[in-house]
């Protein structure tokens, strides 16, 4: 950002010395080690640095300590080593993409980066970030050969997206909060994820992990979604609420136990579907309020939500097994026309022995669902195409109102 402003400012103000002006440019396009070495008098480069067209097997960023701009190297299948023992800070993006021969990435003093975008670094098996990057707003690590992300450990971030790193089997971060999105998917099958200090997080979508530890997490400001994971137990011992988004567990084949003992409020919808080893839902002892819909599909024999007292949307539970006892208990919370006390404000469905219960994993689709109102049935409501379970909740109310 500053890169484009500062040169103009410097020129206008006439304060740049000859040496300094050599260190300021909109874009430094450097295509060889000689090009880099020509900037050896610059400890700070103000401007974007693009390493382009180099045919060298190794590049050393030389004596530069700060890049006030982006550092970019893309589409190169010759370089094997990119290094610097001086660079401490990149204010913009550190963007490396489609470097199929890069095997050594050594930035021993680097601590602060605006964002990290490491994509398609298919032979990179380790980061030599000795000092360790402790500050970055956004981290995207995709399609690398990394077995570890040691060397990157930030305290807070907007976005972290770790995907398609097939060798990655462990990811531990001391991050305390994350303000937009955490996405983890399609990494190594045995990926164990640990966020011991995470207190709040906006949104998270987690897939294909073998364990997910969030002992301190208190609040999810957005939604949390767990799809196709390999863990058998899930617990969030300190989680009390999700303030606006959905909570979803879908197609986690090994899952036998979900326990979120302190969860009182789900700000959006609450979905549990196609986790076929999950026979009992009994880990939500304090769940009182669901501002969207509740939708559960599975091989359940028992569903207990003992504190449930306020469901704004539809309530729809379908099991392959007999859940008559659970249904009898929940019916008491349905609308008065159903003989209930009205705690559940949307439509009420609770069905046992439906062989294909698990085939409905679809909570969320498009909002152009008014057509399905005409069906007016509970199965119609379950099949509504809507943006989120929260919307499904409202749609459910509308359907119900029409039926009255």
Ligand X SMILES: *[C@@H]1O[C@H](CO)[C@@H](O)[C@H](O)[C@H]1NC(C)=O
Q: Is 167 in the site for ligand X (CB under 6 A)?
A: no
Q: Which residue is nearest to ligand X (CB)?
A: 176
Beta strands 241-242 and 265-266 are parallel
**Which of 36, 35, 41 is closest to 23 using CA atoms?**
41
The residue among 86 and 299 lying less far from ligand X, judged by its C-beta, is: 299
Contact residues for 324 (Cβ-Cβ < 8 A; gap 6+): 352
What is the pattern of x (binds ligand X, CB under 6 A) and - over residues 318-337?
--x-----------------
Stretch that binds ligand X, among 36-44, 79-87, 145-153, 233-241 (CB under 6 A): 233-241
The residue among 158 and 343 lying less far from ligand X, judged by its C-beta, is: 158
Q: Is 271 in the site for ligand X (CB under 6 A)?
A: no
Q: Kindly report the number of other CB atoms within 10 A of residue 341's CB atom.
A: 12
Stretch that binds ligand X, among 56-64, 127-135, 254-262, 392-400 (CB under 6 A): 254-262
Q: In the 8-state DSSP scheme, what is residue 133?
A: B
Q: How many chain residues touch ligand X (CB under 6 A)? A: 43
Please pick, from the candidates 135, 359, 375, 402, the single residue that binds ligand X as defined by CB under 6 A: 359
Please pick, from the candidates 274, 334, 352, 364, the single residue that binds ligand X as defined by CB under 6 A: 274
Stretch that binds ligand X, among 138-146, 232-240, 285-293, 365-373 (CB under 6 A): 232-240
To ligand X, the closest distance from the beta carbon of 307 in angstroms equals 17
Q: Is 21 in the site for ligand X (CB under 6 A)?
A: no
- CA–CA distance, 49 with 97 (Å, rounded to integer): 14
Provide DSSP, 226-271: EES---SEEE-TT--EESSS-EEEE--TT--EEE-TT--EESS-EE
- Long-range CB pairs of 137-144, under 8 A, 24+ apart, other chains included: 138/114, 139/115, 140/115, 140/116, 141/116, 141/165, 142/118, 143/119, 144/118, 144/119, 144/120
Please pick, from the candidates 21, 44, 194, 238, the single residue that binds ligand X as defined by CB under 6 A: 238
- CA–CA distance, 387 with 143 (Å, rounded to integer): 30
Q: Is 358 in the site for ligand X (CB under 6 A)?
A: yes
- The beta-strand segments (E) located in 343-398 are 348-351
CA 377 to chain centre: 35
Interface contacts to ligand X, rule CB under 6 A: 75-77, 98, 155-156, 176-177, 179-180, 185-186, 200, 202-203, 207-208, 215-216, 219, 221-222, 227-228, 232-233, 235, 238, 245, 251, 253, 256-257, 259, 274, 276-277, 299, 320, 355, 358-359, 361
């Amino acid at each position: 950002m500053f890169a484009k402003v500062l040169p103009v400012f410097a020129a206008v103000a006439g304060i740049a010395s000859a040496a300094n002006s050599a260190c300021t440019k909109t874009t430094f396009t450097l295509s060889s080690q000689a090009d880099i070495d020509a900037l050896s008098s610059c400890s700070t480069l103000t401007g974007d640095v693009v390493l382009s067209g180099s045919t060298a097997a190794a590049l050393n960023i030389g004596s530069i300590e700060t890049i006030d701009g982006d550092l970019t190297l893309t589409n190169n299948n010759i370089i094997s080593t990119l290094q610097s023992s001086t660079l401490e800070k990149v204010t913009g993006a550190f963007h490396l993409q489609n470097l199929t021969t890069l095997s050594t990435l050594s930035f021993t003093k680097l601590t602060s980066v605006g964002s990290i975008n490491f994509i398609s670094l298919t032979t990179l098996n380790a980061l030599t970030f000795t000092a360790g990057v402790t500050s970055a707003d956004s981290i995207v690590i995709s399609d690398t050969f990394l077995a570890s992300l040691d060397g990157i450990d930030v305290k807070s971030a907007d976005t972290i997206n770790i995907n398609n790193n097939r060798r990655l089997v462990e990811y531990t971060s001391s991050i305390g909060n994350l303000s937009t999105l955490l996405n983890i998917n399609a990494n190594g099958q045995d990926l164990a994820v640990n966020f011991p200090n995470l207190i709040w997080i906006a949104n998270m979508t987690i897939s294909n992990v073998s364990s997910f530890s969030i002992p301190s997490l208190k609040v999810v400001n957005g939604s949390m979604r767990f799809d196709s994971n390999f863990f058998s137990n899930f617990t969030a011992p300190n989680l009390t609420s999700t303030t606006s988004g959905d909570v979803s567990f879908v197609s986690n084949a090994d899952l036998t136990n979900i326990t979120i003992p302190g969860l009182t409020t789900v700000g959006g919808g609450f979905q549990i579907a196609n986790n076929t080893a999950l026979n009992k839902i009994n880990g939500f002892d304090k769940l009182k309020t669901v501002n969207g819909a509740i939708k559960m599909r599975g091989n359940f024999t028992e569903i207990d939500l003992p504190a449930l007292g306020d469901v704004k949307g539809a309530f729809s539970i379908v099991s392959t097994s007999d859940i008559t006892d659970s249904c009898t208990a929940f019916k008491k919370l349905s609308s008065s026309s159903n003989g209930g006390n009205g705690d559940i404000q949307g439509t009420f469905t609770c069905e046992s022995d439906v062989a294909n219960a698990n085939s409905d994993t679809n909570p969320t689709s498009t909002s152009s669902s008014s057509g399905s109102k005409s069906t007016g049935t509970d199965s119609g409501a379950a099949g509504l195409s809507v943006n989120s379970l929260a919307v499904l909740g409202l749609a459910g109310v509308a359907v119900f109102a029409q039926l009255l």
